[in-house]
Amino acid sequence: MEMKYFTEPNGKFVIKVPTEWQYKNIAIGHDEVSPFSFELYENSVGAFQISCYSEQEKPINKNVPVQKFDTNKLDFIKKRMDRDGFNMHLWYAVVEDHMFMAKYIYDTSKQGDTEVKTELEKAELALATLELISPHKRNLALEFDKYEKFMASLAASFDLKNRAIENKSVIELMIIIANQIDAYLRMAIVMKKQLQEKTNRIDIALLFQGEKDTPIMERKIYKQAKDLEIIYQDTFDKLYKLYTERNKVVHRYIISEFKTVYLYEIVYEYEAVCETVRQSLKVVEDLQFTEGIGIHGNGRYPDEEPTEQNIDMLYSQVNDKHLIRDLFRDIKR
């Protein structure tokens, strides 16, 4: 079964869930707190929920054996709680000073259905991967999670780009290409710093910006990329010029002499620079592979063809980014 990682928002635990399961908290507007809920993207037959609480948040049963950090294949106490038209399968475990409680809930009328049995088997397989991460490793878990989401967002941007091309939406296309350039440069900066510092740690400050984080603006990214010799003066100058032209469109289209025909020229120039920047990123990727350092230092060649499993995992992550049915990609089950 193909699976993807889910990381608790504070890095407390990780679990692998089937790629065909959608993380529902964000999708339905709930806070990202326990319980964390998952269902099939389509034709849902029930809901899987996983909760994690410290002993300060909820009392822990002292009669339950305590298990260790960073350990999967936990021993769970299993129970059933069927009432009010719903069946509920429960799993309970204590790990260090935390408790896990998992549930699979479905309509009583579906009891015994093949689809429910299949989903319950998936729940068991997912729970076998569950780990409470020790505090000193949680930042590493979060780095990997933010990197994965960054890459999924970059992939999702191509869906928007293709749609903008089909609709001849040149302003939308311009904004998306500018975003992609920014993303390529951020990734290249992260990888160049990994090479310089000989580390596999990921500077997520460049790859993720929360609501309360201090933004690292595009022009600062351009300068960092030039200082690290990822791009050179001619590309740097083109990026600054395009940045200025784009701002005219966004902020002064109506109140200036800017002509619509200029948009096509800007988009053409943006696409040309985007390809130059992408090639600059590839140089850094190849260097990481050669030196065995960083994101691409794990022995996997950057140009290696993805497996079907890789593709399905990416499709699942992109679906989670879009949350729009029109852009949904089917995932093999």
pLDDT in tens, 254-268: 999 999 999 999 999
The mean pLDDT of 6-35, rounded to a whole number, is 96
The structural domains of the chain, ordered by start, are: 3-133 (3.40.1000.10), 138-302 (no CATH)
Query: What percentage of the chain has pLDDT greater than the value 70?
Result: 99
With contact defined as beta carbons under 8 Å apart, do 312 and 19 qualify?
A: yes
pLDDT tens readout for residues 175-197: 999 999 999 999 999 999 999 99
Pairwise CA distance, residues 102 & 104, whole Å = 7
**Between the CA of residue 125 and those of 119, 129, 317, 322, what are the distances in Å?**
10, 7, 20, 27
pLDDT number for residue 333: 57
The mean pLDDT value of the chain amounts to 96
Bond into 35 cis (ω within 30): yes
pLDDT number for residue 299: 77
pLDDT number for residue 88: 98
With contact defined as beta carbons under 8 Å apart, do 181 and 273 qualify?
A: yes
Pairwise CA distance, residues 146 & 190, whole Å = 13
Pairwise CA distance, residues 40 & 210, whole Å = 28
Give me the phi and psi of 307, to 5 degrees please.
Answer: -80, 170
111 contact partners, CB below 8 Å, separation of at least 6: 87
The residue whose two tokens read 């809901």 is 47
With contact defined as beta carbons under 8 Å apart, do 38 and 47 qualify?
A: yes
The mean pLDDT of 41-51, rounded to a whole number, is 96
The mean pLDDT of 42-57, rounded to a whole number, is 97
Q: In the predicted model, is pLDDT for residue 134 greater than 90?
A: yes
Q: Binning pLDDT at 50, 70 and 90, where does residue 1 land?
A: confident
Query: What percentage of the chain has pLDDT greater than the value 90?
Result: 93
Length of the chain: 333
